[in-house]
Amino acid sequence: MAGRRGSAGGWASGSRPVVRVEDGRTILRVGGVIQSVGVDEEYTTDVWDAMLPATRPASVLILGLGGGTIAQLLTRRWGPLPITGVERDPAVALLARGVFGLEALPHVRIEVADAFSYVRACRETFELICVDLYVAGKLVHGVLEPAFLRQIGWRLTPEGTATFNFWRTAYLADQLRRLGRVLPIRGVSEAEDNVVAACAPPPLLG
């Protein structure tokens, strides 16, 4: 793995998005950290695959769209399906549309917005919610706040799943405990330096 994976929700000062071709793959880096990769003949299984469910979801919300790796993988696996991708940084959203090919996928709706504000105002429900909110390699502050996690639960269908991307750090056990206090954890998958937790809606909503 060339770097820790996570999709940007925006960039801090000095951490602007950069697209490079590395080992034949198109890579989006923010602050030197890989945020997204192109899904083409050079793509190999990575952490983003662990964020996908075993069966085709009816609808998907991606928080932290980045270059659209998850949207491309969903489409490659199951064909067109309703996908909403939320990306805070207009520059990253532009790269997702152009360089990473989302412009050619009319079933993918890109919302340039703050993920927290979007979820708070949203009234749709989704069968899959992928939470991949990083800025230059750091988990965005507020992802594990109970209020935000409850809002994620409210936006899931009764049988839905929310997947959260974490890095394997000294804080991981505490992060999973905080997550599990609000959303029941169905399972945890490991992908080198990353850990993906799959969560069910809170019992009262399921």
Report if residue 68 sits inside a domain. yes
Q: What is the pLDDT of residue 7?
A: 55
Mean pLDDT of the chain: 90
- Residue 160 reports pLDDT greater than 90: yes
Report if residue 1 sits inside a domain. no
pLDDT tens by residue, 31-67? 888 889 899 887 888 889 999 999 999 999 999 999 9
Cβ–Cβ < 8 Å for 9, 87:
yes
Q: What is the pLDDT of residue 123?
A: 96
Report if residue 2 sits inside a domain. no
pTM of the model: 0.90
Q: How many CB atoms lie within 10 A of CB 79?
A: 9
Report if residue 20 sits inside a domain. yes
pLDDT tens by residue, 88-140? 999 999 999 999 999 999 999 999 999 999 999 999 999 999 999 988 778 99
Average pLDDT on 14-18 reads 77
Cβ–Cβ < 8 Å for 137, 105:
no
Query: What's the domain range around 73?
Result: 7-199
Report if residue 109 sits inside a domain. yes
Report the number of distinct structural domains present in the chain.
1
Report if residue 60 sits inside a domain. yes
CATH classification at residue 189: 3.40.50.150
Q: How many CB atoms lie within 10 A of CB 41?
A: 7
Report if residue 204 sits inside a domain. no
Cβ–Cβ < 8 Å for 199, 163:
yes
> What is the distance between the terminal CA atoms of the chain, rounded to a whole angstrom?
36
Report if residue 206 sits inside a domain. no
